[in-house]
Amino acid sequence: ERKVQGNIIDAIGFATRIFPIGRLDKPSEGLILLTSDGDIVNKILRAENAHEKHYRVIVNRVVSDEFISKMSSGIPILDTVTKPCELRRAGKFGFDIILTQGLNRQIRRMCEYLNYEVQSLKRTRIMNIHLKSELGSHRDFTALELSTLNKTLKDSKKSIE
């Protein structure tokens, strides 16, 4: 949000107008892609295109088999049921989750539904682009990342047709 002090666009100070691809809520951290191409934004974010976003999450309670099963099967939030997703335990209190949709505060709401509280949430991958920068820093795509991204997006829809 440009009106929020310390927003990512102002922090980067890029010479041309750029847009974030997706959002992270304030208590979260991790990978955000920035582009000047609005079509790419829509192609990546449309749930129908099923592009993966990978997160590492730490919660306040032990991650049980039941939690893993319920989270991966779909949780009722925001007047819908989340799409099935991939979940893997990552330590006693952590898990990795791969989503193909991006509902508002989706992971936090899913956890809350099961009486878990998110302690930390970090996006580590969007499609083929992996987080490789330190907190607060940025980098350009590698040639291979950009080529792979463009090939993957070639048949993705950018709007409702």
Residues taking part in catalysis = 25
Q: Which residue's structure tokens are 């310390």? A: 6
Q: At what angle do helices 38-45 and 143-153 cross, to 10 degrees?
A: 70
CB-CB contact of 42 with 112 (8 Å): no
Instruction: Break the chain down into helix, strand, coil percent, rounded to 5.
Output: 25, 25, 50
